[in-house]
Amino acid sequence: MHVLLHQFQLNKVQFRKIIFETYYPLNHIENLIRKEIKAEVDLQYLEEFAHVKHMLSVEGIAILHHSIGNKITSANCTPIVRFFGFESGKSLLNDYVKWLVPITRLQELDSSVKIRNKIKLIEGVACILERNYPQEHEKLCNYCEILKEKLADEF
């Protein structure tokens, strides 16, 4: 640095200004590009659910995405949840992860009220999928039947 200062007859302030203007914008642009790449999430598929987005809870969004085979990750959870009018991408991601493992779906269902609420939630998502996703609709209906049997047997 000392050599550059004397060679170009710059004081420290001028030197720092040159360094800042030369290197900072490049690093800043690279960071912006990285953020843009991370933020580019294809949400085109959500348009088919625009007419029902007010009907879903965060957990319903997680069930919907699991059912149609769209993964929710830390990169896309916030844009997805905001499309549906919510703020917390982390809660969506947590609900999605809970729904991925079948055993965790049943663990928290320890009362008849929880089971009835879960059935109502799943039936709501199943109704949304009925027309365009008949196989996924059938799977959710079968899961509701399992929950209804559990409700009848245990409570």
Q: What is the pLDDT of residues 7-16, one digit of tens each?
A: 555 566 665 5
Under the banding of pLDDT at 50, 70 and 90, the label for residue 150 is: confident
CA distance 155 to 152: 6
User: In this prediction, what percent of the chain has a pLDDT beyond 70?
Assistant: 73
Cα-based distances in Å from 107 to 90, 101, 102, 110, 115: 21, 10, 9, 7, 11
Q: Tokens 């699991």, residue?
A: 66
Please give the pLDDT value at position 33.
45
- Residue (of 22, 8, 144, 136) closest to 70 by Cα position: 136
* Contact assessment for residue 125 and residue 52, using Cβ atoms and an 8 Å cutoff: no
CA angle at 70 for the pair 66 and 74, rounded to the nearest 5°: 95
Please give the pLDDT value at position 29.
47
- Residue that wins the pLDDT comparison between 36 and 13: 13
CA angle at 137 for the pair 106 and 95, rounded to the nearest 5°: 40
User: In this prediction, what percent of the chain has a pLDDT beyond 90?
Assistant: 52
Please give the pLDDT value at position 154.
79
> How far, rounded to the nearest angstrom, does the alpha carbon of residue 57 sit from its chain's CA centroid?
13
Residues near 123 by beta carbon (within 8 Å), at least 6 away in sequence: 140, 141, 144
Q: What is the pLDDT of residues 89-113, one digit of tens each?
A: 999 999 999 888 877 777 778 889 9
18 pLDDT above the threshold of 50: yes
* Contact assessment for residue 64 and residue 56, using Cβ atoms and an 8 Å cutoff: yes
- With 0-12 / 13-18 / 19 or more C-beta atoms within 10 angstroms meaning exposed / middle / buried, residue 145 is exposed
